[in-house]
Chain A
Amino acid sequence: MELSLATRTVGEHTVLEVGGEVDVYTAPRLRERLLELIDGGARHVVVDLGRVDFLDSTGLGVLVGALKRLRTAGGSFALVCDKEPLLKIFRITALDQVFPLHPTVDAAVGAEPTGASA
């Protein structure tokens, strides 16, 4: 399935809903969208991976890039994911210790209302 990207705002959080396959071909589009959001002033970004059915190292690299960028800007970055195959990918790469991972958007938004600036 092709990559799909949709953005919505929840309080002071920008939620990016990602669907489909995030791989070496589609990851540049995800990177572009995240950069647009951050350059456009978004400081608290939640990426919802609920509808992602494939994620590879290139996609993970893009997510880490966004995390670093927001950390430098004094913002926050979190992921929403409750699918076991994807969670296993985060565990195997030890990225579960790098990203805040939440089962739902509500949990992600509630967990860090002001992120690093709190």
Chain B
Amino acid sequence: MATVKLSFSPAPVHVRTARLVGVAVARRAGVREDLLDEVRLAIGEACTRAVALHRQYGLADPVLVEMSDAGSYAVRVVDRAPIEAGIGLAALPPDELANESLTDEALTTGVGFALLAGFVEDLQVRPVDEGVGTEVRMVWPVGR
């Protein structure tokens, strides 16, 4: 089993780096080529969510991304923000998406969750085992 860990300051500019690393490790782990776009998008969404939460709560702590390939390709994205309502996966219905009263933040969060839920078959969002924070865990099969 191989593990790659990346931790980055909660700034939007680093989310791209996390995506690039996540896809590189996925390719190396043997994730099918046609799944890599989805891996890239899902890791990006999970990191974007974590960065947004850290900024919302004024946290300078790094966001942690941990990738491992023990039988499948598993990615954990861990934030240190207090547990909030966004832990559930709520996709917004189309008539609400363009509703004037919906804030940009709420829309982006809802759409982000819809993308995670839509692209990752094996997805878990749960409180971290120790301390404060949430873990988004995503698993993809490897083609070996």
Contacts and interface: CB of A to CB of B under 8 A. Distances in A.
A24 B12 contact: yes
Contacts of B92: 94
Given A61-B107, A61-B108, A98-B94, A23 B44 contact: yes
A25 B14 CA distance: 8
Size band of the B side of the interface?
20 to 34
Interface stretch (B71-79, B96-104, B129-137): B96-104
Contact of A56 (B44, B98, B109, B118): B44
A64 B91 CA distance: 16
Interface stretch (A7-15, A43-51, A85-93, A102-110): A85-93
Interface in B87-144: 91-94, 97-98, 100, 104, 107-109, 111-112, 114-115, 118-119
Nearest to A53: B37
A25 B15 contact: yes
B1 interface: no
A98 B102 CA distance: 14
Interface in A4-33: 21, 23-25
A10 to B, nearest CB: 25
Please classify the interface of chain B as helix (H, G, I), strand (E, B), loop, or mixed, using the class held by over half of its residues: helix
Nearest to B49: A57
- Name the residue among B52, B107, B118 with the largest chain A CB count within 10 angstroms: B107
A25 B9 CA distance: 14
Given A56-B44, A56-B45, A60-B108, A93 B16 contact: no
- Name the residue among A21, A71, A94 with the largest chain B CB count within 10 angstroms: A94
A64 B98 contact: yes
Contacts of B93: 94
A98 B45 contact: no
B103 to A, nearest CB: 10
- Name the residue among B40, B100, B115 with the largest chain A CB count within 10 angstroms: B115
A11 to B, nearest CB: 25
B51 A93 contact: no
9 contacts: A21-B16, A24-B44, A64-B107, A92-B114, A93-B91, A93-B97, A94-B114, A98-B97, A98-B98
